[in-house]
Each structure stands twice: as structure tokens, then as C-alpha cells.
């Protein structure tokens, strides 16, 4: 009897420890070193500090509804009311958004790039993969519209977690932006975690996700079930360009295809032939820009 109780106690302690570790991995996911991101983007020719410094721009600290500052840069080389906000992926910073910013600057847009909570120069203690981040994105949109006027033509581009954040935001508000570009989003965080648990840990997710979700609700005050772009995609009326790499094995392209299928109204889909996760632009730039141009020409009024 004592051996049985001891075994049950050890099993219980194991589950608690595993759930604590699991939620730590979510809340405090290891970020890339900022110098590494800067060096990577420079060496790849996607970020030129000298060119960036010459752009007319200014740093902005936007208050988050959660009490910290969101560090953003507004870049305005054009006399226009056309703006795009770019949301980077998890573990990255706004430097990773510069390549997309440049693409839109070349097409006559001004741009806002910013750091998500707990990333780069922004505040915030935890990462929530879109749950809290969507309210920060709303703060950025609201700030821009207050600064430049409510009638700006606004688009939002998001990559990976930034794409999921963008879709969650778009499903939350009725008229946030005029168009959206979602590059390699997950459709449902619970499904994504289940896939990664099986893929990386060779573990049955049904044993870990319920207790992990309980711990997450206690520790960070939200549920995994709250982070589900597929659950709000039908709320989004404005055009969306969905993008994914065919060989992405981190977030499967089937998730984007599912989102595309469920989205009602104007939409387009581009599946890049080469590249792993979040590499569609880096490895298929010409085709990526062609897809963006076709989308803008179809759904966004000319300047």
C-alpha cells in the first residue's frame, strides 16, 4: 500500500513538474539574441543600417493596455495616407520586419514596425502567442489612426505568431484594417501545441495539454483555447492574402489552407515552393512579391 501511495505521489509530482516546464516553455520561450538577428539580416542583405538610418522615421513608445510600452518605429518617406503595420514572429524583433517594410515602401506605403511584448525594446513579462499580443496590436492601430486620421488606408502584415496575432485582432474588431497578409500562421494554438508535443517530445498530447492549460490559466490568466484564429476567421470581412511554405514542418501549411477555406469573402492564397518556416519571402522573393502585387491590385484601391 505504501509503495502504491509513493508511486502515485511521484507520478503526481512528475505531472506537476512537467506542466510547470511546459508552461514555462510557452510563457518564456527562448528568444533569439538581438545581435544575432541584426547580423543575420545584414549578412543576408535584407537590412542595410546605412539605408535604414537615412529614412524619415521616428521612434514611438505606445502604451499597452497591460501597463508597459510597445516600442515602434514609424517610417514615412511618402506623402500618402497608405500605411502598413508589420508584426514579427516569436523570438524575433522588429529588425526582422524591415524586409517586409522595404517591400511596402517600394509600393508607396508608409510603415510601422514594432516589437511584440517581451521582445526587442518592448515591455511585458510573458509571451502568449497572440492572446495578449492582439490587444497590443490594437493599441498600435489605434495610435496610428489617432495620429494620422481614421481614414487612412491601412494594411497589416504578420509573420508566424505575428500572423496569428493579426488574425485574432482582425476577428476581434469590426474595421481595424482594410487588408491583411497572413504569412505562415497557425490556425489553432491547441492543435499546434499537440503537433509539436508529438513531433519534438514523442509524447501523447492528451496527457499534457489539460494540466498544462490549467497551469497556464493560473500563471498567465488565459487558456490555450483562447488562441484560435480559426474560431474568429469568419468574422473577418476584409481581404486576406494567406502565405505559407510548402515544406514548413514547424507550422504545417495545412493550417493556412484550413484558414483560407474557412475565410468568407475576398481572399487569396500563395504557397511558396521552397523554404521552411517563415522563409517564404527569403527563398521565393520574386514570387512572394508577385503574389503581394496581385493581391494589392485586386483588392486595394490605387494611390
Residue-range domain boundaries for the chain: 1-30+200-225, 33-188+227-299
**Does 6 have pLDDT greater than 70?**
no
Residue with cell 514555462: 24
Q: What is the mean pLDDT of residues 89-109?
A: 98
Fold entry, domain 33-188+227-299: Rossmann fold (3.40.50)
What sign for the dihedral angle of Cα 188, 244, 253, 263?
positive
Q: What is the pTM for the complete model shown?
A: 0.95
Mean pLDDT along residues 136-144: 98
277 and 184 Cβ atoms separated by less than 8 Å:
yes
H/E element, 69: strand 69-75
- Give the burial class of 2: count Cβ atoms within 10 A of its Cβ; 0-12 exposed, 13-18 middle, 19 or more buried: exposed
Question: Which residues are paired to 122 by β-bridges?
Answer: none
Burial of 67 (0-12, 13-18, 19+ CB in 10 A): exposed
C-alpha cell at 229: 484564429
pLDDT at 173: 81
pLDDT of residue 303: 67
CB atoms within 10 A of CB 39: 12
Residue 29 and residue 203: Cα distance in Å, rounded? 19
Report DSSP state, residue 225: G
- Taking all residues of the chain, what is their mean pLDDT, rounded to a whole number? 94
Q: Per residue in 157-212, pLDDT tens?
A: 999 999 999 999 999 987 789 999 999 999 999 999 999 988 877 777 888 899 89
Question: Over the stretch 21-68, which tens digit does the pLDDT of each residue have?
Answer: 889 999 999 999 999 999 999 999 999 999 999 999 999 999 999 999
Tell me the pLDDT tens digit for each residue of 222-260.
999 999 999 999 999 999 999 999 999 999 999 999 999
Mean pLDDT of 100-127: 98
Which strand ranges, in their side-by-side order, compose the sheet holding 110-114? 57-63, 69-75, 110-114, 82-87, 153-159, 179-183, 240-245, 267-272
Distance, CA of 250 to CA of 245 (rounded, Å): 10
Amino acid at each position: 500500500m505504501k509503495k502504491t501511495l509513493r508511486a502515485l505521489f511521484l507520478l503526481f509530482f512528475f505531472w506537476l513538474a512537467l506542466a510547470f516546464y511546459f508552461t514555462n516553455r510557452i510563457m518564456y520561450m527562448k528568444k533569439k539574441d538581438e545581435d544575432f538577428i541584426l547580423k543575420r539580416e545584414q549578412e543576408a542583405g535584407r537590412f542595410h543600417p546605412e539605408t535604414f538610418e537615412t529614412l524619415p522615421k521616428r521612434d514611438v513608445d505606445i502604451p499597452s493596455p497591460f501597463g508597459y510600452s510597445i516600442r515602434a518605429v514609424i517610417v514615412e518617406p511618402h506623402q500618402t495616407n497608405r500605411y502598413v503595420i508589420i508584426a514579427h514572429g516569436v523570438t524575433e524583433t522588429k529588425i526582422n520586419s524591415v524586409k517586409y517594410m522595404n517591400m511596402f515602401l517600394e509600393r508607396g506605403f508608409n510603415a510601422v514596425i514594432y516589437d511584440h511584448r517581451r521582445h526587442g525594446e518592448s515591455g511585458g513579462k510573458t509571451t502568449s502567442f497572440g492572446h495578449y499580443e492582439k490587444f497590443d496590436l490594437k493599441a498600435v492601430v489605434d495610435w496610428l489612426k489617432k495620429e494620422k486620421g481614421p481614414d487612412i488606408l491601412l494594411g497589416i502584415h504578420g509573420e508566424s505568431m505575428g500572423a496569428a496575432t493579426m488574425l485574432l485582432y482582425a476577428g476581434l474588431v469590426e474595421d481595424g484594417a482594410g487588408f491583411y497578409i497572413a504569412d505562415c500562421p497557425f490556425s489553432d494554438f491547441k492543435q499546434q501545441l499537440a503537433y509539436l508535443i508529438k513531433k519534438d517530445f514523442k509524447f501523447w498530447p492528451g496527457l499534457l495539454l489539460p494540466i498544462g492549460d490549467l497551469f497556464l490559466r493560473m500563471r498567465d490568466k488565459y487558456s490555450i483555447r483562447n488562441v484560435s484564429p480559426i474560431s474568429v476567421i469568419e468574422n473577418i470581412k476584409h481581404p486576406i492574402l494567406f502565405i505559407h511554405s510548402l515544406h514548413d514542418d514547424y507550422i504545417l501549411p495545412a493550417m493556412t489552407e484550413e484558414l483560407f477555406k474557412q475565410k468568407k469573402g475576398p481572399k487569396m492564397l500563395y504557397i511558396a515552393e521552397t523554404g521552411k518556416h517563415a522563409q517564404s519571402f527569403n527563398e521565393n522573393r520574386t514570387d512572394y512579391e508577385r503574389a503581394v502585387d496581385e493581391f494589392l491590385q485586386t483588392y486595394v484601391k490605387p494611390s
